[in-house]
Amino acid sequence: MNPAAVHSLRRFALSVPDLGQAEHFYRCFGLDVVPLERGGLSVRTAAHGREVARMHHGPRKTLHHLSFGAFAGDVDRIAAQALEAGARELESPAEGEPGRWFVDPDGRLFHVTEDENRSPKGRSTEELIVHVGPNAAPERNLEVRPRRLGHVMLLTADAGRTANFYVRALGLRLSDATEGIVSFLHHPHGSDHHVLAFVQSSGPAAFHHASFEVPTVDAVGIGANRMAEHGYKQGWGLGRHYAGSNFFHYVRDPWGSFVEYFCDMDYIPAGTPWEPRKVAPENSLSSWGPDVPDYFLVNSEA
Ligand SMILES: [Fe+2]
């Protein structure tokens, strides 16, 4: 029997020292921000109002938790796999929210719950070329509103070992990897090339970036311009990743981690046999793009 598997990454949650700063940053990025009843912020997509992140108040920026969605009948099987893989189960820290909560062997908190929403249903290429012919370029004031959370990348002491835990626990599958550097994971129900990725780093288990899909390369570029106009000038892009094929631009957040605008990521349909590639180190960060800034792979939680 195949392992049971999650079908989506629902949200990530961070602890941050200044919620006002978090609200400003994510609003400028193109997401909606509303207060949570018990304190903290809920970050949502404008189009669907779907929660993609939570911000909690804490002394410094750290990953608070990840939340994954699964089909109704799969949650208990996934929970059993997580325990078997070495997770520890916790009482729910979010009162009233269904689902089961675990701590992974490195101390990261994660949540698995039944969720009927899952996306995407396929590769979203139809809008990549918005206009054909003359006058194809958009105006500078194009509105950029990320439409969904794509993936999260975390820093970890051993990318292969941590990826293997999430393969066993959540039924994720290895997409591509560069040994000793980075591992990319997808789920088997029809998935982006990666919904979760681990990059190797000395220092504590930490949050590196969250990535949001926008419809076009123009939106990636104009989003980056807009963030710079709001004072968020540091980052990396425009470029194209080799693993996943997506176009990207990263914007550095106020705490030294990043958000990424992406479009046109490889999609792995359900039932596709997939052979993980061993990606050469020179391709592990990008296929093309500007030089990687020296602060990009710094562990901002060390
Ligand atoms: Fe990414």
In this predicted structure, what is the pLDDT of residue 131? 62
Please check whether residue 247 lies inside any domain of the structure.
Answer: yes
Question: Could you tell me whether strands 100-103 and 109-114 are parallel, antiparallel, or unpaired per DSSP bridges?
Answer: antiparallel
195 C-alpha to ligand 1 centroid (Å): 9
In this predicted structure, what is the pLDDT of residue 125? 57
Residues 6 or more apart from 269 whose CB is under 8 A from it? 122, 190
134 C-alpha to ligand 1 centroid (Å): 32
In this predicted structure, what is the pLDDT of residue 132? 67
Q: Are residues 183 and 273 in the same domain?
A: yes
Please check whether residue 231 lies inside any domain of the structure.
Answer: yes
38 C-alpha to ligand 1 centroid (Å): 30
252 C-alpha to ligand 1 centroid (Å): 13
The total number of structural domains in the chain stands at 2
Range of the domain at 15: 8-114
Q: What is the pLDDT along the chain (302 residues), one digit of tens a residue?
A: 789 999 999 999 999 999 999 999 999 999 999 999 989 999 999 988 999 999 999 999 999 999 999 999 999 999 999 999 999 999 988 777 899 999 999 999 999 999 998 877 777 655 555 566 788 888 889 999 999 999 999 999 999 999 999 999 999 999 999 999 999 999 999 999 999 999 999 989 999 999 999 999 999 999 999 999 999 999 999 999 999 999 999 999 999 999 999 999 999 999 988 999 999 999 999 999 999 999 999 999 99
CA distances from 139 to 128, 145, 248 (A): 16, 15, 20
52 C-alpha to ligand 1 centroid (Å): 15
**Is 63:206 a contact under the CB 8 Å cutoff?**
yes
Alpha helices in 106-250 (DSSP H): 159-170, 217-229
Please check whether residue 127 lies inside any domain of the structure.
Answer: no
Please check whether residue 254 lies inside any domain of the structure.
Answer: yes
Q: Are residues 248 and 163 in the same domain?
A: yes
In this predicted structure, what is the pLDDT of residue 129? 54
In this predicted structure, what is the pLDDT of residue 130? 58
Please check whether residue 275 lies inside any domain of the structure.
Answer: yes
Q: Are residues 161 and 98 in the same domain?
A: no
73 C-alpha to ligand 1 centroid (Å): 30
Please check whether residue 208 lies inside any domain of the structure.
Answer: yes
Please check whether residue 298 lies inside any domain of the structure.
Answer: no
Nearest to 66 by CA among 104, 96, 33: 104
Q: Are residues 159 and 278 in the same domain?
A: yes
Please check whether residue 158 lies inside any domain of the structure.
Answer: yes
Q: Are residues 249 and 180 in the same domain?
A: yes
Q: Are residues 237 and 181 in the same domain?
A: yes
In this predicted structure, what is the pLDDT of residue 119? 72
**Which residues line ion ligand 1, judged by CB < 5 Å?**
211, 260
Q: Are residues 162 and 107 in the same domain?
A: no
Distance of CA 247 to the CA centre of its chain: 15
**Is 214:223 a contact under the CB 8 Å cutoff?**
yes
* CATH classification at residue 232: 3.10.180.10
Residue that finishes a domain, picked among 114, 134, 169? 114
**Is 180:200 a contact under the CB 8 Å cutoff?**
yes
Q: Are residues 25 and 69 in the same domain?
A: yes
